[in-house]
Amino acid sequence: MSIFKGAGVAIVTPMKENGEIDLEVFGELIEDQIANHTDAIIAIGTTGEAPTLDDDEHLEAIRYCVEKVNGRIPVIAGTGSNNTAHAIMMSKEAEALGADGLLLVAPYYNKTTQKGLIAHYSAIAESTKLPCILYNVPSRTGTNILPETAAWLGKNVENIAAVKEASGNITQVAHLIELAEGSLDVYSGNDDQIVPLCSLGGIGVISVLSNVAPQQTHDIVQACLDGNYTLAAKLQLAALPLCRALFCEVNPIPVKAALRLQGHQVGLPRLPLVDIEPAHLEQLKAAMQEYGCL
């Protein structure tokens, strides 16, 4: 059974001026997402600035998100690491806090072989009863989870349930879905490729765009799930300028700026990320106005 179908938001982590997590604003963002038909919350992933949160902050944010959502939609906790033992510990903690699933990024920096990926993911999945989503984002990690590797894990490790595919390589996605033979759900990790991926058998997106346009992102996926690809393509193409603007600098710099433009007091990213450049802010503002979310 799928963890979710539709549009899951890779939600930002709001920060106060002193750099602490702002749980009150976090709650406001969660409520706004649910009110606008987001299908799942993905807490403390890349967009949530997981690399600069310590373990206590990371787990407190997951705890708060689970309690705030209160079972209305699934909460998927980002617990991946390039340290297998640390990923196991965080995954167990997230399970104890009531998360509905786990998002597990491929090991970064130290990287590993495909055999190592199988061992890494198998060890994490076997430590928990929660369904696990592999996260393939080679541009950030330097590691590509090959289709053969993901398909093997989907077929042989019971609770490896899905892949967030952000390689940007549609040929690779097609090969993955071919090899997986239904053993893995596939979510787009790129907002500009929702429709192509769903047309191949994907069931949704884990989205940055949804932070600022939750209803619209939901509608793109829903059109795909309904088989209305004429509408889905129209909605996808209309979103492309904003998708580009949201990645004019390193994520989540632009999406935090976009949320501030909408009046959400999400603060700045933590160092080493800095505020958006003025020229990019103007590009972002124009794209948001064109798309109708500002």
Catalytic positions, written as ranges: 135, 164
Phi, psi at 21, each rounded to 5°: -65, 135
Please answer whether residues 79 and 104 qualify as being in contact, where contact means their C-beta atoms are separated by less than 8 angstroms. Answer: yes
| 3-state DSSP assignment of residue 133 | strand
Please answer whether residues 87 and 79 qualify as being in contact, where contact means their C-beta atoms are separated by less than 8 angstroms. Answer: yes
d(CA 33, CA 8): 9
d(CA 90, CA 78): 9
d(CA 154, CA 180): 7
Q: Which helix (H) or strand (E) is 32 found in, with range?
A: helix 23-35
> Which of 169, 167, 86, 84 shows the shortest CA–CA distance to 118?
84
Which burial class, exposed, middle or buried, applies to 241 when counting CB atoms under 10 A from its CB (0-12, 13-18, 19+)? middle
- CA distances for 25 relative to 57, 67, 162, angstroms: 15, 15, 30
* Angle, vertex CA 14, rays to CA 11 and CA 19, nearest 5: 140
Tokens of 214: 């939750």
d(CA 135, CA 152): 15
Rg (CA), the chain: 18
